[in-house]
Structure 1
Amino acid sequence: MSPENWYLTEDLDDFLARAGDFLSAQPALHTVLLTTTDALRRRGRHFYGPEDPVFGVLEGNGDGRVRAALLHTPPFPAHVTALTPVAADALADRLAELDHTVSGISGPRETAEAVAAAWRRRTGATGTVQQRQRLYRLAELTVPQPRPEGRARIADDGDRALLERWYGEFAQAVGNGAGRDPAAWADARIAHGGVTLWETPDGTPVSLAGVTPETAGQVRVAPVYTPAGLRGRGYAGAATAEVSRAARAAGTAEILLFTDLANPTSNALYQLIGYRPVADFAVWRFGADGPKKTDGGRRP
């Protein structure tokens, strides 16, 4: 395998056999790939959409050591770990051979920018930044004060319709309206106790904070959502603090979350709770003028 040759597969077990140790060695930086592959193992290969996911591994220097990894679960952008500029060029070449649309790229900020530029050179399709993100890690937990009246509880089967509705509203708000099915998301989260609701003293849910299952010693808090008419009352901070406390009490080593850097309110809130910056990421969307199918329509 040449230094910049990407190995692509649709076999999740094959991918994890090759890249599992690499991903687990830096669980914070690789949280997206760890949590997404865990969801695919638990819920099936089409949990994120009807198209087959594609996985990639970059090995080099003739020693078989994994240098980078790729995960593409359409319709979401492909997600990649940190790359050199040369490896980003090689990835753009390889992605252009896929027989399904590559809608975008996400990953560490400089890597995502390099892949987007390489994609434009390779295909002529332009890219635009959809979101700039910051990854945070929980340090010392601080519960925001004053704490709103009410209590936290784990969502159960009786909350399924509420979770579906709120997840759909959240997806639309962040621009992921074409993402996974809200019912499948709700079922998956209920199955592992992965949503904490904050409810008022009369038992009315007013906010939620989700958390991914633990894998490789890390979990990620996502999503956090409060309906528009209920914001500014401390509900999201209370729910996030509670889900973070529970994860720490369970012995999780790395408790993580992403923020949209365009939202100063959420960034300030999470730092108040005790989250500290780890790295910046970016999500790019590609234009529709790039190639859709090549190589006779065969998947790699």
Structure 2
Amino acid sequence: MDAVVHATLDSFDAATHDRLTADPVRNTVALTSLDRIRRSPATEQPPILITFHENGEVIGSLVRTPPWPFQAADLPLPAVELAATVAAKIDPDAPGVTGPRERSEAFATATGKNYTESLSTRQYRLTTLAPPSVGGTSRMATEDDVELLGGWRAAFLREAVPEAPATPTTEAMRTSLRLGQGHALWVIDGAPVAWAVASRPQAGMTRIGPVYTPPEHRRHGYGAAVSAVATRWALDQGATDVLLFADLTNPTSNSIYQRIGYEPLDDWAEFWWKH
């Protein structure tokens, strides 16, 4: 087995496009993050792109889109030792790894670093959408909402992933809207009270997230309502697999998503290196 470090996204795409799009559910994070870089390269840092080969065939890959951790969804277990060795040489400043639990934990262990589990999530896929009955209305966000969305994204990251690096959240929201992602808002008396994002479909797959309700507006069903709106937007864009991740330490969100039509698929985990 050997590894190839790709200098360009075009080179990586040529080696992995068919492989990643054949299983868009498992490869959801790589597909959406690389699409963002592909369509807005000026706003992103260059990605770290590695493929693993055996007998002349690609058997897996490892991706990182700085400043975020490595993505191990397509990392085959027999390649974790090689992956850890290569990653240490070419990307020593990587902060951690995320992916399906078995793969991400195997990679974290193979690095020999001390690590902490920062996030434990469950992946869900939509079966039949069942929107809840909640007071209020919905609308899709526009450029006029960028400051609000930037503040909410920063609050979401502080709460959900406190280890996450500081990023320009308002500019990220402006770029996301420009790239055609669906930002849904739930509105009460003219004021937004909850927010959910749906990614642009990739190989028929869309992922919902973040979903955020400010603390003062929680326990009214607004998160479920806005998630259903974002899901409907994704379906209207032609998505056939609508996915989302829910924090396993939050039983409320896990039950809410199941009530509006999502079924559990797999458990993921994120590990960050201790310094």
TM-score of Structure 1 vs Structure 2, range by shorter chain: over 0.9
Q: Tell me the amino acid that sits aligned with residue 106 of structure 1.
A: T
Give the TM-score normalised by structure 2: 0.94
5+ long unaligned stretches in structure 2: none
Identify the match of residue 53 of structure 1 among 23, 34, 47: 47
Q: Tell me the amino acid that sits aligned with residue 135 of structure 1.
A: Q
Give the total of aligned pairs: 273
Give the TM-score normalised by structure 1: 0.87
C-alpha separation in 2, matches of 1:179 and 1:141: 35
C-alpha separation in 2, matches of 1:84 and 1:186: 33
Distance 1:95 1:277, change over 3 A: same
Q: Which residue of 2 aligns with 1:79?
A: 71
Q: Which moved more, 1:79-88 or 1:272-281?
A: 79-88
Q: Which residue of 2 aligns with 1:170?
A: 156
Q: Which residue of 2 aligns with 1:297?
A: none
Identify the match of residue 151 of structure 1 among 97, 121, 137: 137
C-alpha separation in 1, matches of 2:269 and 2:119: 6
Deviations 1:147-201 (A, max 9, x none): 222111010111111111111111111125415321222112322152000001x
Counterpart contact for 2:193–2:214, Cα < 8 Å: yes
Q: CA deviation at 1:99?
A: 4.6
C-alpha separation in 2, matches of 1:260 and 1:231: 16
SS at match of 1:160: helix
5+ long unaligned stretches in structure 1: 289-300
SS at match of 2:90: coil
Counterpart contact for 1:75–1:178, Cα < 8 Å: yes
Deviations 1:243-268 (A, max 9, x none): 11222233211100011111111111
Q: Which residue of 1 aligns with 2:60?
A: 68
Q: Tell me the amino acid that sits aligned with residue 57 of structure 1.
A: T
C-alpha separation in 1, matches of 2:228 and 2:262: 10
Q: Which residue of 1 aligns with 2:263?
A: 276
C-alpha separation in 2, matches of 1:255 and 1:179: 28
C-alpha separation in 2, matches of 1:90 and 1:193: 36
Counterpart contact for 2:201–2:237, Cα < 8 Å: no
CA RMSD across the alignment: 1.5
C-alpha separation in 2, matches of 1:219 and 1:85: 26
Q: CA deviation at 1:142?
A: 0.8
C-alpha separation in 2, matches of 1:53 and 1:178: 16
C-alpha separation in 1, matches of 2:128 and 2:248: 22
Matched, 1:8 2:5: yes
Q: Which residue of 1 aligns with 2:101?
A: 109
C-alpha separation in 2, matches of 1:247 and 1:46: 24
Counterpart contact for 2:205–2:240, Cα < 8 Å: yes
Counterpart contact for 1:129–1:282, Cα < 8 Å: yes
